[in-house]
Amino acid sequence: MDDKIIEVNKLSKYFGTFEAVKDVSFTVNKGDVFGFHGANGAGKSTTIRCILSLITPNNGDVKIFGESISTNRFEILKRVGSIIEKPDFYKYLSAERNLEIFARISGSDSTKKDIYKMLDFVGLNGREKDKVAGFSHGMKQRLGIAQTLLHNPDLIILDEPTTGLDPQGIIDIRNLILELKNQHNKTVLLSSHQLSEIEIIANRMLIINKGKSIIEGEVSKLLNAEELIVNIEVDNPEKCVLLISEHFPAIHIQEIKNNQLLIATDKNVIPDLTKALVAGEIQIFAIESKRKLEDFFIKIISN
Amino acid sequence: MLLKSTYNEFIKIAAKPRSYLGLGAITILVGVILFALKADGMSFIEFVTSSFEQTLSFEGNILNGNLVAFIILQMLVIHIPLLVALVTGDLVSGEAAMGTIRMLATKPISRTSLLLSKFIAGGAYTLLIVVWLGIMAVVVGKFLFGSGDLMVLNSDGLVILQEADINWRYFGGFTVAFLAMLTVSSLSICLSCFSDNSIGPIVTTMAIIILFIIIGTLDVSIFDNVRPFLFTTHMAAWRSFFEDPLPVADIRNSIVILLIHNLVFVFISLYKFNRKDITS
Amino acid sequence: MIKHIFILAGICLLSFNGLAQDATQTLNDLIAKMNSVKDYSVDAVITSDIPMVKILPTKATIYFKQKDKFKIDAKGIAILPKQGFTDISKLLAQKDSYTAVIMGNETISNVKTDIVSVFPVSDTSDLVLAKLWIDPLQDMVMKSQITTRSSGTVTILYTYGSQAKWGLPDKLVFTVDVKKFKIPKGVATDINKTSTKDQTKAVAKTGEIRIDLSNYKVNLGIKDEIFKK
């Protein structure tokens, strides 16, 4: 059985003369939590809209479950659940009614019992009959998740699912995604401009910038988990630089600013480095590791 | 899936407060007209028959429910399209404005089915409006004023239709009136496909109707070739059912023109909606 | 010559006086016959042929009671002439308000009639002139022509049958003046009418209303409530 769930091949979309997406290609495999990352306006939502046939690409093609979305849309979308940007509902209808409306055209036979069960699952039990107009943003996000999962899709596409959620809500969504992957064998395409989210839950990722794909691969391999960026604050930076150059040639000094050195190093070297600095009578005021992934992203984008 | 989507559309229309605005407006408007006619309807009739009454006198129950219903229909020919467009003009653009269109468009339902279900639901709402107008005008009118022969003033004179000969005329008239309002509904839904906000299609629909009515009313030869093909020209085709003899050819012509307009609006809408990039 | 003129004038005056006295007698006989009918009801079918008006024949019931109660109870809408029903009897009842002269004779429906012209005494009266073609033997009006300032001229032809003994006709044919008929603009809403009507067709200047009367019930008593609206 083919493990490729989403295959995007040289996808391009122009709005007038503006290149929103250019020659983007990537693959999402079965069971992946695929992180799709880029800055605001990078082309993430446009790409996802092309995948879901909301937008017609100018070039390229998209296959889901091995079938082209343009020719087999009906059968494909029965097995896909999605939230694009913020979930929008009919404000004048209740939560239950909203789910009923979307479920009716999702190709499933969801019953009232299923709807109530799903609302309970996302933490909206007791709010079934309430009009969505009175819901907070977080509640709407939960309802959006409910709408996405109600027909038990095989592929789940989430575009910025934690936007506007409180910390507990963010944790809940993350746990849910991991549960979907690990316990229900779902495939998830997760788009976010929060790198930390992707780092924690995604196993593969694509970075996109100004409409172009920059890099794709496994999160662990891309980040090389053994390497750290460390900030060291000392009393004598020049002496510290000399010591590192002589005894730790593998350490890469990235930046020296006042009494602080920014170095890239294997984490296993840090204990020996600390001992050497103390032995060389260099006073250490602080050692702290920076967010690796953010640096990686900034480096990739700037290159 | 078309039926399921249509059922969804009925639920949405029934739940929207503005859907009841049209029904309420008709109730109030017709109520006001009925009250005015009950209070002083004979003055209105005397104004109409004044030139005849120099040598003739009219006996019988002239101000009856049939005449009242006719007067109401004539007065509301401009207003009913607005009440229809208020709901139908929002069917696509309202969803775009709300963002729900992208939720719908990612479901396993073709855009054609999605749009056709809106046309069907819009048509059903239009039918409800016309039927409600009929109930208020004819049924309530007859309840308050009794029944009787109908006196109709056309541009070529007075026609008096016998009571037994009227009900089928009203049925035919309302059927054609529904077709005319359905054209308004189709136009507004079509315009709705080109917009992402609610107000634009509604205002544009009314602007088009008013413009076409003005073109139709202006007695200028430059518009002579265009006038017969404007759908507004045939919006008053329901009145043809109250002429004697019945102008069958004119009525048939109006029905065909209106049907063609409906089909054109539907096809334009399908073309646009199927190709539209949903970015909202 | 002058003497001849005076003699001629004398003869005319005497003739006129004589004719006036004959007209008065004729009208008195007519009034007497009219007064023999205390009340009646009759079924009517009203058929109108009037330019710019289309109406199917309408059924109605007509009620009359001395001295001036009159009502037409139409099943639907009926179009009737404004003048002509009770004008003659009202006119003739006020003997001081008119002068009458026999102007000649005419045969109508094989009946030799006296043409009696009735002139109102007052200059301000709405009535300008009334002409009655009266059958002197049966004391019945065969034709009348009433001209008023407000309604123009109405001509009525009378046909008698079974109720001739009461002077009640079986058929009345009214010819009315329709020159002043106009459609008020803005009220007749043929919105965007596209079919063209023949605008050059000449509009007739008179219209006709025929009333066929049957099933008379004469002098059987009619309650006053019937005449209340």
| pLDDT > 90: percent of chain B | 67
**B225/C contact by beta carbon, under 8 A:** no
Chains A and B touch (3+ CB pairs under 8 A): yes
**B275/A contact by beta carbon, under 8 A:** yes
The predicted structure's pLDDT at residue C203: 63
The predicted structure's pLDDT at residue C16: 56
pLDDT top residue among B121 and C74: B121
Residues in chain C closer than 8 A to B230 (CB atoms) = 192
The number of domains in chain C is 1
Residues in chain B closer than 8 A to C151 (CB atoms) = 54-55
**Domains located in chain A, CATH noted:** 4-219 (3.40.50.300), 227-302 (3.30.70)
B277 → closest Cβ in A55, A92, A105: A55
The mean pLDDT of chain A is: 87
The predicted structure's pLDDT at residue C188: 46
The predicted structure's pLDDT at residue B76: 75
Q: Is residue C35 part of a domain?
A: yes
Nearest alpha carbon to residue C194 among B158, B247, B174, B152: B247
Q: Which residue of B has its CA nearest to A131?
A: B15
C79 → closest Cβ in B48, B54, B58: B58
Q: Is residue C91 part of a domain?
A: yes
**Considering the entire predicted model, what is its pTM?**
0.81
Domain that holds residue C15: 2-189+201-219
Residue in B51, B56, B220 to test binding to C, most C beta-carbons within 10 Å: B56
The predicted structure's pLDDT at residue B19: 93
Is the pLDDT assigned to residue B172 strictly greater than 90? yes
The predicted structure's pLDDT at residue C196: 45
Is the pLDDT assigned to residue C19 strictly greater than 70? no
Q: By the 8 A CB rule, do C152 and C129 touch?
A: no
Q: Is residue C196 part of a domain?
A: no
In this complex, do C78 and B58 lie within 8 Å of one another by their Cβ atoms? yes
Q: Read off the pLDDT of residues B44-87 as tens digits, 9 standing for 90 and up.
A: 787 777 777 777 888 888 889 999 999 888 877 678 999 999 99
Q: Read off the pLDDT of residues C112-132 as tens digits, 9 standing for 90 and up.
A: 999 999 888 888 878 888 899
C76 → closest Cβ in B60, B239, B247: B60
Q: Is residue C136 part of a domain?
A: yes
**A101/B contact by beta carbon, under 8 A:** yes
Under the banding of pLDDT at 50, 70 and 90, the label for residue C5 is low
Q: By the 8 A CB rule, do A25 and A213 touch?
A: yes
Q: Read off the pLDDT of residues A207-234 as tens digits, 9 standing for 90 and up.
A: 888 888 888 888 877 766 556 778 899 9
A74 → closest Cβ in B7, B17, B108: B108
Residue in C193, C206, C211 to test binding to B, most B beta-carbons within 10 Å: C193
- Supply the DSSP symbol for A131: B
DSSP 3-state assignment of A225? coil
Q: Tokens standing for B128?
A: 């409800």
The arithmetic mean of pLDDT across residues B250-264, rounded, is 95
The predicted structure's pLDDT at residue C185: 56
Under the banding of pLDDT at 50, 70 and 90, the label for residue A56 is very high
Q: Read off the pLDDT of residues B220-255 as tens digits, 9 standing for 90 and up.
A: 888 888 889 999 999 889 989 998 888 999 999 999
Classify the C-alpha dihedral B220-B226-B228-B233 as positive or negative: negative
Chains B and C touch (3+ CB pairs under 8 A): yes
In this complex, do C78 and B59 lie within 8 Å of one another by their Cβ atoms? yes
Under the banding of pLDDT at 50, 70 and 90, the label for residue B260 is very high
Chains touching C (3+ CB pairs < 8 Å): B
Q: By the 8 A CB rule, do C119 and C100 touch?
A: yes
Q: Read off the pLDDT of residues C192-205 as tens digits, 9 standing for 90 and up.
A: 444 444 444 456 67
**C72/B contact by beta carbon, under 8 A:** yes
Is the pLDDT assigned to residue A303 strictly greater than 70? no
Beta strands across the sheet bearing A204-209 = A80-83, A155-159, A187-192, A33-37, A204-209, A212-218
Q: Read off the pLDDT of residues B182-219 as tens digits, 9 standing for 90 and up.
A: 999 999 999 999 998 889 999 999 999 999 989 988 88
Is the pLDDT assigned to residue A1 strictly greater than 50? no
Cβ-Cβ contacts under 8 Å for B58 (sequence gap 6 or more): B49, B52, B151, C77, C78, C79, C80
The predicted structure's pLDDT at residue C197: 47
In this complex, do B51 and C195 lie within 8 Å of one another by their Cβ atoms? no
The arithmetic mean of pLDDT across residues B170-179, rounded, is 93
Q: Is residue C215 part of a domain?
A: yes
pLDDT top residue among C82 and B129: B129
Q: Tokens standing for B276?
A: 């539209």
Is the pLDDT assigned to residue B110 strictly greater than 60? yes
> For residues B85 and B210, what is the distance between their CA atoms, to the nearest angstrom?
13
The arithmetic mean of pLDDT across residues C38-56, rounded, is 90
Q: Tokens standing for A134?
A: 């009175």
The predicted structure's pLDDT at residue B3: 93
> For residues C57 and C60, what is the distance between their CA atoms, to the nearest angstrom?
10
> 143-162 in B: which are within 8 Å (CB) of C?
148-149, 151, 153-160, 162
Burial of B230 (0-12, 13-18, 19+ CB in 10 A): buried
Q: Is residue C229 part of a domain?
A: no
> For residues B116 and C150, what is the distance between their CA atoms, to the nearest angstrom?
63
Q: What is the CATH number of the domain that holds C49?
A: 2.50.20
Nearest alpha carbon to residue A158 among A168, A147, A169, A167: A147
Q: Is residue C156 part of a domain?
A: yes
Residue B178 C-alpha, separation from nearest chain A C-alpha, in angstroms: 28
Q: Is residue C101 part of a domain?
A: yes
Helix pair angle (B111-134, B2-15), 10° resolution: 50
List the single range of A145-159, B13-27, C65-79 with lowest mean pLDDT.
C65-79
- Supply the DSSP symbol for B229: G
Under the banding of pLDDT at 50, 70 and 90, the label for residue A144 is very high
Residues in chain A closer than 8 A to B109 (CB atoms) = 74, 105
B51 → closest Cβ in C80, C181, C194: C181
Half-sphere exposure of A166 (CA within 13 A, CB side): 4
Cβ-Cβ contacts under 8 Å for B161 (sequence gap 6 or more): B149, B150, B152, B169, B242, B244
Q: By the 8 A CB rule, do C131 and C116 touch?
A: yes
Nearest alpha carbon to residue A193 among A21, A41, A27: A41
| pLDDT > 70: percent of chain C | 79
What's at C145, amino acid-wise?
Answer: Q
> For residues C158 and C160, what is the distance between their CA atoms, to the nearest angstrom?
7
